Amino acid sequence: MEQTSEVQQTNFWIGTWEGGWRAVPLVAMLSGAWASARPPADERLTALALAATLILAGWEPLWRAIATTAWVTPLAHWRTWEQEAPPYRWPYLQPGTPGAALNHAWGRARAWWQAVGSVNLSSPLRSAFLALLVSLLLGVALGRTAFFLTLLLLACAQLAALWDEGRGRPGPFWQAITLVGIPWLLGASLAEETLPLLAPLAVTLLAGFLAQAGPTALLGPLLAAGFLVWQGHPFAAGVLLLLAFPGLLLLTQRVEKTAYRQAVALWLIAMLLLVGGTL
């Protein structure tokens, strides 16, 4: 009986609003740029537009295509796959030779791809390739730092997929690194040659902890507030804690993880703008 798998119908370019999480990388980039150069110089406006395009048309689709695809589902069929496509008739290929074994393995691979792989993996692979191409081109246009940040995001997306064992459910800290920390660095690179490290780390921890529907969610705002106090902005730290309170209040109501994550997205955006406008 022919083995099949469920088809993954996902648009990696135009997705759902997710309560505001789709806008988080863009806001993080703008906040990083705002923290580094305020007000932005006129010559930076073009760079900001290119950076926004890089995030929306490159980094976000690339992240979703790699990290949120359930690779394990179709690849699991390969372990027990026995069907073969009609083998190629190579001249001088003798039975029982390594070449014949390779030809049979290639036939199995073609049969698996036609029945399972092309149905489930062609869309994410095409999207990842196109998004990577767009990201590299825009990264080159923005400069060396943006290019290397693109490679860093690509590596993080692959590590997130491997860490999750290809189930398509990356953890909150992987999302915080790729959707908050790296975009913040991109925004900062538009105005500074030396990238700041503490501010991106603070907002990454803020997003990573806040996205967890549990008691540890409180650590994110506390760490970010402590960072602002250390930078000499105690009033902004208090405002940040107030912005975090409505989302954290949901934890007492035992809401579902998805509902909680969507509920805190807009508050996270407000906190990112606060940090960017304060530093």
- Are 112 and 45 part of one and the same domain? no
- Are 236 and 215 part of one and the same domain? yes
- Kindly state whether residue 199 falls inside one of the protein's structural domains: yes
pLDDT band at 43 (very low <50, low <70, confident <90, very high): low
- Kindly state whether residue 3 falls inside one of the protein's structural domains: no
Among 71-75, 89-93, 96-100, 159-163, the range with the most confident prediction by mean pLDDT is 159-163
Determine the 3-state secondary structure of 211 from DSSP. coil
- Please give the average per-residue pLDDT across 141-149, as a whole number: 93
Span of 96-100, 149-153, 184-188 with lowest mean pLDDT? 96-100
- Are 102 and 150 part of one and the same domain? no
CB 5 within 8 A of CB 121: no
pLDDT averaged over every residue in the chain: 84
Alpha helix (H) ranges present in 8-71?
24-36, 42-54, 60-67
Among 5-19, 80-94, 107-121, 232-246, the range with the most confident prediction by mean pLDDT is 232-246
Split into its structural domains, the chain has a count of 2
Structure token pair of residue 45:
């406006």
166 or 24, which is more confident:
24
- Are 220 and 159 part of one and the same domain? yes
- Kindly state whether residue 8 falls inside one of the protein's structural domains: no
- Residue 62 pLDDT > 90, yes or no? yes
- Are 56 and 192 part of one and the same domain? yes
- Residue 40 pLDDT > 70, yes or no? no
Structure token pair of residue 209:
């902890």
- Kindly state whether residue 48 falls inside one of the protein's structural domains: yes
CB 48 within 8 A of CB 190: yes
- Are 107 and 195 part of one and the same domain? no
- Kindly state whether residue 4 falls inside one of the protein's structural domains: no
Residue-wise pLDDT tens digits, 176-212: 999 999 999 999 988 777 788 899 999 999 999 999 8
- Kindly state whether residue 6 falls inside one of the protein's structural domains: no
- Kindly state whether residue 176 falls inside one of the protein's structural domains: yes
Percent over 90 (pLDDT), the chain? 49
- Are 104 and 134 part of one and the same domain? no
- Residue 91 pLDDT > 80, yes or no? no
- Are 103 and 139 part of one and the same domain? no
- Are 111 and 229 part of one and the same domain? no
The pLDDT value recorded for residue 4 is: 42
Structural domain span for residue 112: 72-120
Cis peptide before 170 (omega within 30 of 0): no
The pLDDT value recorded for residue 119 is: 77
